[in-house]
Structure 1
Amino acid sequence: MSEVQIASMACARKKKAFRILNAIDKMQLAIFVLLLLIYIVTEGFLNDLRAKSFSNFNGNKSFGVSSAIDPAQPLYLQGDELIYDSRREKVTARGNVEITFNNYILTADQIVYDQSANTLSASGNVVLRDPKGDITRTERITLTDDFRDGFIQSLSIIGRDQSRITARRAVRRDGRVTEFELGKFTPCVHDPGKPPLWCITADRIIHDADAATITYLDTTFDIMGVPVVYLPFFQHPDPSVKRRSGFLLPRFSSSEDLGFTLETPYYFAFSRSYDLTFNPLYTARQGMLWRGVWRHKLAFGNIRGQYYIKFAGIDQSYEDLPNNDSNLDGWRGSFETRSEFSLSSWWNFGWDVTIESDDTFRRFYKMDNILQTDRVNSIHFTGLSDRNFFQVKGYHFGGLLLSDSDASESRVHPTVDWNYIVGAPVFGGELSWTVNALSMSRNLAFNDINGQYFNTDTSSQRLIGSMRWRRRFIDPFGITYTPSVNLRGGILNYKNAVDPTSNTLIDQETVTRGVMSASLLASYPWLAHSQSTSHVIEPIGQIIGRTSDVRQIDLPNEDARSIVFNDTNLFELNKTSGFDRVETGTRVNLGLQYTFQSNSGGYARLLAGQSFHLSGKNIYEYNTGNEPSVNVESASKILTENNGLEDRTSDYVLGAYLAPSQTFSLIGQGRFDDKELSLRRADVTARFLYGPTAITSTYTYTASDPLDLSVEDQQELLGTAILQLADHWRFLGSLRYDIDESSFRSHDIALQYSDDCFILTTKYTETNTNNKDIISDRTIMLYFALKHLGEFKYRTDALDHLLVENQDQ
């Protein structure tokens, strides 16, 4: 962790400065604080290691606290020639000399041990390895015989992470303080004949191992051997330090909505298990945004976990906002907290909760994705083993769209899911069961069929259980049969719920229902081999017989409102997404699958199929109600209209999974109209991976609905790319393009330089989203990071969320 250490005289100056600040306006405040920060840096009190480990670089410790020295340990000396001078009490060793003491290893061409002075003098190709693994190279060194103190000439110290200090001479005192004269420090890998990319040069460098600090006096910061910045004093923690209280590097930015901004984070390292980062953001146009993050790691017996709390708030003037919304005047803010705790090898507990003053605060200040449409808070208790799953989870839902009412929210308290598979075979097959329990309430505002407005509290509860048995057989001809029996029952209770068929209230009602089903899945794979490839053609058929109809159409539907019919759920017993709707009647599913595999690793799989509803109630049916035989149930909107299963004969589905080589793969899923063969839905993703180059592209298409003119064609293209241009240089980019509107929803491009000790990134981002006080935005960001010294950012927009940090890719 980086820090700014401020001496007592500097603290007094700051107190006086803060008294002056009360008398100046906002713009003067920004200028004054900026000048103050420049003063702090130039006076040398900057001490900047990040609170979080800088993951882009090797995290090995070096130059750390010295190991305790035990003087009772013996000193071992060996060499090609040993000369003992009893009169002068000196032992001279020559040729391949090595001394081992307390995990220190000293090698040299010659070592003289002076027993009377208790010193060791080594000369010629001297190498000293300390217990931490750091290596000191020099031509001459003088040490006390306990290796605590010493004097070195013309030395080079190499840490385990290749950080390097070179100096003309050095003196070690008290076994902990090493002072270097005319020294240089750099974490860059040594390249003979070339200056390091960056280094710190100083008349004196003082390393205090106990305090874990490196101090520089009369310092210049050099880039490629050229001095660029002079500091009379500079100090930072040595590379062994991960965290320490202090100021972090400031961040500057400018924005049309916020104006000039300045962020001066301060990190509080209270202990190894908890800390606080206080990072207020001053904005010239919106005022001071107070922010902070509290992090805490906990351990109680076998319980391990961590949580964090983020807070943000601002005294907002609505006249400063783009839409001048007076409802947003005054205090705005939010609290966000997340956690995850491991209770045992199977059980865990956690929460994800955000509380905010209004729908747009977090998105306007870019603490959330600007495309987010819902606020979902949750708390869970989960058990997961190899085959079984149990979870108790509570939810709170709130809408963030313009059409959502602030009063329209729902609470799940809670939902319980239990999936269990019996370990031992039952009648030679697998027996499993699923249990779901739900208690839900919501505040609902709507207009009924007569146009009357209602705003009421609704509630619903349900308990649903299902048991399934299945077994697999293979006959002598190679045909595979999988029979299955499924029993499902449930009890549902509603109060003030809305009947979707009439848009009227259900005052109070309890409903029980049950469905019994039996199915048979059969497949007949045909296999063909060659010397280098294999081919499998597999016809697949399935018939499912269920209860012809149960009551569900006029009951609320909370969790089964959408369906994406494709090859992945063609042979599912129930294609709905939740528990509030269940398939009934008799259905046949047919498909043909082809699989190809080559010895070189190439792979392809194609699956085409169709579904047929033979009898009973088709819950996917959607009609206009004009036909004389159509009743209220079939005329209502059961699920998403034009879902591909609304007729007795479904649309065709096709899935293609291609991987001709390790560098390229393609996944495509399509649904085609059963009468005209026109494309109704498509999802295609292509990936190209070659060394450090990675390109991913996704295309989605949903056709318009002939029964609902408000639903138009929707086409979107998403792409990401990482291209290695040269050694240390790469290009990064992403886009989201609306094909129908011929416009970019968002896109960004970045150019990055990265090596072992330095990262530089420039990035441009543009978003085109308008919602209340959220408007389109453009951002340019400059980011650089120095190993062991921290990072710096400048951007034309302080809204951090818009820039996806690609440095860790």
Structure 2
Amino acid sequence: MRQFRALPALFILLLAFSLHAGPSRAQTDSALQDAALLVADQVLVENDNRLIATGNVEALYDGTRLTAARIIYDQDSDSLTLEGPIYITDPEGNVLSAETGEVDSGMRNGLLRGARMVLDQQLQLASVEARRVEGRYTQLSRVAVTSCQVCGNNSAPLWSIRASRVVHDQTERQLYFENAQLRILDVPVFYLPYLRLPDPTLDRARGFLIPSIRSTTLLGFGIKVPYFIPIGDDKDITLTPYLSPVTRTLEARYRQAFRYGNIELNGAITRDTLISDGARGYFFVTGSFTLPRDFKLKFNIKTTTDDAYLNDYDYSGANRLKSDLTVSRFRRDEMISASLRHYEILSDSESNATQPSIISSAEYERRYFPRFGGEIRLGAELHNHFRYSTLDVDSDDDDTLVDGRDVTRLNADISWRDRWTLAGGIRAGALGQLWIDRFWVSQDSTRPANVSQLTPAVAVDLRWPWARAGVNGARWLIEPIAQAGWIGGERVQVTNDESTRPEFDEGNLLSLSRFPVPDRRERGYTSALGLRILRDNPAGLTAGLTLGRVWREEDDSDFTRSSGLSTATSDYLLAAHIDTSNGLVLTARSLFDPADQSVAKAEARAIWSKGLMDLGAAYVLLPTDPDEDRDQAQSEWSFDGKYQFTNNWAASAETRYDFADQRFAKTGLDIEYQNECAVVNFSASRSYASSDSLVPSTEFGLTVALKGFSTGGSAGEYRRSCR
């Protein structure tokens, strides 16, 4: 018996099986490594050099699977003649089908007639013939390409690309088109002599990304065409020219991944007709890295050439830019953090010279558990804020905008706390604390240059939790809370630079000092009462309510009116949340005084997510408060929502309305159509700027993405069936 060269294990086993069993379904076991496997209903051998397999033929070789109605192997030419329907599936899952063809025994070279190729179960390429070359290239002639579902010969796809020749590089995962013609519903709309596109299995390919059309009242009608450039596996850059009658802008994004972190740079440079003096632009950098000994490094740098640029080009709506660098480490019983921040103000109402622009701080906290019980905490903070202004604060100067005060403070504290369970299930807690503060003040003749203080404090609290299990797995908790405390010492002569926006909420109801920063501390005797009610049911309604009030020895003028703490008896704090099983979540918080029926502050948020709909609404009320530089009340309502009308159509909208000014702050509408082969997105928005440096603008946007290529996203989840 002669041995076949190309597929030795396959044909020896097949021949032996056929001689003993006669014409029937023949198959090999998991043959030798790098050998082939053949399954067929019938196998015949002619003249010791020709093998014919017919009936449900399947061949496996080197990860490639071939199925056909009939395969003829000729040993002299070392080739396979195939009769269809033929399907060849490579190790990546790409499918090549044909009617007839000839390939070599390794299925690396050959010619297929009436070929159809499907990449990643998405992109379809139909051609008159396909030629396989070196197991890497597939050359298709007279090709029609689409990822749309085509039903029947008379059904035109939403989009297709016709080309005289297409080459698929399986190694580089690229598609090269010659004489490419883009068609919409079979109507030619665009022609390119040469075109290169990544196949759907490639995530990062050099080339153009999805362009977008943008039209605004400020910049006119323009187009953005991003170009992506991979630089190895760890970094890439995206360049996006933005052209309109008003502007010539080049946007850029650079990303790089390191072994222990990553960095991203975003920026743009512009020449436009909005201003006459030179170029405009912005530059943002973000990054994070893991350092030795569990430390983390994070940084964020932002800058721009002028106050209006970011708003004009819709890069950011912030009224100030915050740059920061932070090194931190958080462990179970230890916290270390050091940061450096810089603020750049973009609004007309504030000055970069007189606002704290450079802020540095370092914090440390450690806790211990001594043998005698309880917990000991040690903490320290070093802080400095710097103003660019070099003018001294003079009490005789009526112009407070020239303040140049700089402050450095060192705050340290030591505390001990413990908790016990008393008779009847009452939980009792005790706290003893000592603060040590030192302040250095410069460029402020109205205050001492440096001061120090020691502040002792003690507090006891009682909690009486009542718990009950309800029906259907619900659990109830009702917990009255009471606290009594004392804070000693006298307030030193340090200007309130940082604790200018104190908040009274459920998080600091039992705090000994409700100022956000230790440049201020409460003094004297204090007490608090609260009630917490909680219903928890994972399968039904979960709700919570917190009610509280604080009493102090005397009024504190450093608390603002809207903080709810400006008088010795605080406003009532009411906070509630509701979470239903049908996707509705409600949260609300309010400070109100029943004596004069006034509301110091109120906010509410509602979210409803169910089925095809996602809705969100929020309301914020802030009354007038000269201490917080708010000369008129702020009352704003916002809404955002999305509704999926069908599997293909969706719409989303957002709006903000200022009740105090009786005007819209921003409105927007977004409509999206998506099917198995395309995504079309149309957006419209209107910004109503209130600053003198910002101009109201209306913007329209349109993007169209063709699915099936790596730039257009997956097409599989919207695949439909033909009836």
TM class by smaller structure = 0.7 to 0.9
Q: How many residues end up aligned between the 2 structures?
A: 677
Partner of 1:142: 102
| 1:200 matches 2:147 | no
Post-superposition Cα deviations, 1:225-271, rounded to whole Å, max 9, x if no partner, equal 55554555433233344444445566554444334545555444343
Asked if 1 retains the 8 angstrom alpha-carbon contact of 2:560 and 2:566, the reply is no
Q: What's the CA shift for 1:543? A: 1.4
Structure 2 matches for 1:291-690, cutoff 5 A? Answer: 291-299=251-259, 303-314=260-271, 320-321=274-275, 329-343=277-291, 346-369=294-317, 372-386=318-332, 388-412=334-358, 414-422=360-368, 424=369, 427-444=372-389, 448-451=394-397, 455=402, 458-497=405-444, 504-506=445-447, 509-532=449-472, 533-547=474-488, 549-552=489-492, 554-598=493-537, 600-613=539-552, 615=553, 621-622=556-557, 638-690=558-610
| 1:130 matches 2:71 | no
Partner of 1:278: 239
Question: How has the CA–CA distance of structure 1 residues 356 and 781 changed in structure 2, closer, same or farther, with 3 Å as cutoff?
Answer: closer
Question: How has the CA–CA distance of structure 1 residues 333 and 151 changed in structure 2, closer, same or farther, with 3 Å as cutoff?
Answer: closer
Q: What's the CA shift for 1:192? A: 7.3
Q: What's the CA shift for 1:689? A: 0.6
Q: Counterpart of 2:547 in structure 1: which amino acid? A: A
Partner of 1:697: 617
Partner of 1:107: 67
Question: How has the CA–CA distance of structure 1 residues 136 and 272 changed in structure 2, closer, same or farther, with 3 Å as cutoff?
Answer: same
Partner of 2:22: none
TM-score (structure 1 length as normaliser):
0.77
Post-superposition Cα deviations, 1:355-383, rounded to whole Å, max 9, x if no partner, equal 333333333333321xx222222111122
The alignment partner of 1:784 has SS state of strand
The alignment partner of 1:362 has SS state of helix
Asked if 2 retains the 8 angstrom alpha-carbon contact of 1:296 and 1:308, the reply is no
Q: Which runs of 5+ in 1 are unaligned?
A: 1-70, 322-327, 498-503, 623-637, 793-809
Question: How has the CA–CA distance of structure 1 residues 256 and 412 changed in structure 2, closer, same or farther, with 3 Å as cutoff?
Answer: closer
* Distance in 1, Cα, partners of 2:697 & 2:710: 28
Partner of 2:177: 216
Asked if 2 retains the 8 angstrom alpha-carbon contact of 1:421 and 1:431, the reply is yes
Question: How has the CA–CA distance of structure 1 residues 739 and 373 changed in structure 2, closer, same or farther, with 3 Å as cutoff?
Answer: same
Partner of 2:720: none
The counterpart of 1:717, out of the listed 611, 618, 637, is 637
Post-superposition Cα deviations, 1:8-56, rounded to whole Å, max 9, x if no partner, equal xxxxxxxxxxxxxxxxxxxxxxxxxxxxxxxxxxxxxxxxxxxxxxxxx
Asked if 2 retains the 8 angstrom alpha-carbon contact of 1:259 and 1:283, the reply is yes
Post-superposition Cα deviations, 1:106-141, rounded to whole Å, max 9, x if no partner, equal 233332221111112233443322121222333433
TM-score (structure 2 length as normaliser):
0.86
The alignment partner of 2:424 has SS state of coil
Question: How has the CA–CA distance of structure 1 residues 428 and 769 changed in structure 2, closer, same or farther, with 3 Å as cutoff?
Answer: same
Post-superposition Cα deviations, 1:319-352, rounded to whole Å, max 9, x if no partner, equal x54xxxxxx7344443322222233694221321
Post-superposition Cα deviations, 1:168-223, rounded to whole Å, max 9, x if no partner, equal 32111232221223333223467678654433233432223345432334444344
Asked if 2 retains the 8 angstrom alpha-carbon contact of 1:82 and 1:93, the reply is yes
Q: Which runs of 5+ in 2 are unaligned?
A: 1-31, 713-723
* Distance in 2, Cα, partners of 1:362 & 1:710: 25
Partner of 2:142: 182
Asked if 1 retains the 8 angstrom alpha-carbon contact of 2:269 and 2:281, the reply is yes
The alignment partner of 2:443 has SS state of strand
> Could you say which structure has the greater relative contact order, defined with CA pairs below 8 angstroms and 6 or more residues apart?
1
Asked if 1 retains the 8 angstrom alpha-carbon contact of 2:64 and 2:90, the reply is yes
* Distance in 2, Cα, partners of 1:187 & 1:418: 58
Q: What's the CA shift for 1:512? A: 1.7
* Distance in 2, Cα, partners of 1:250 & 1:750: 17
Asked if 1 retains the 8 angstrom alpha-carbon contact of 2:212 and 2:701, the reply is no
The alignment partner of 1:121 has SS state of strand
Q: Counterpart of 2:263 in structure 1: which amino acid? A: Q
Partner of 1:4: none
Q: What's the CA shift for 1:681? A: 1.6
Partner of 1:500: none
Question: How has the CA–CA distance of structure 1 residues 387 and 776 changed in structure 2, closer, same or farther, with 3 Å as cutoff?
Answer: farther
Post-superposition Cα deviations, 1:379-411, rounded to whole Å, max 9, x if no partner, equal 111223356432211011232221323533534
* Distance in 1, Cα, partners of 2:486 & 2:405: 35
Asked if 2 retains the 8 angstrom alpha-carbon contact of 1:783 and 1:791, the reply is no
* Distance in 2, Cα, partners of 1:707 & 1:465: 28
Computed over aligned residues only, the root mean square deviation of the Cα atoms, in angstroms, reads 3.1
Asked if 1 retains the 8 angstrom alpha-carbon contact of 2:210 and 2:704, the reply is no
Greater Cα shift, 257-266 or 781-790: 257-266
Post-superposition Cα deviations, 1:723-781, rounded to whole Å, max 9, x if no partner, equal 11112111100111111222110010121112343211112101111323421111122
* Distance in 2, Cα, partners of 1:183 & 1:81: 35
Structure 2 matches for 1:36-47, cutoff 5 A? Answer: none
The counterpart of 2:120, out of the listed 143, 147, 160, is 160
The alignment partner of 2:686 has SS state of strand
Q: Counterpart of 2:483 in structure 1: which amino acid? A: Q
The alignment partner of 1:279 has SS state of strand
* Distance in 1, Cα, partners of 2:709 & 2:63: 30
Asked if 2 retains the 8 angstrom alpha-carbon contact of 1:718 and 1:737, the reply is yes
The counterpart of 1:751, out of the listed 661, 665, 671, is 671
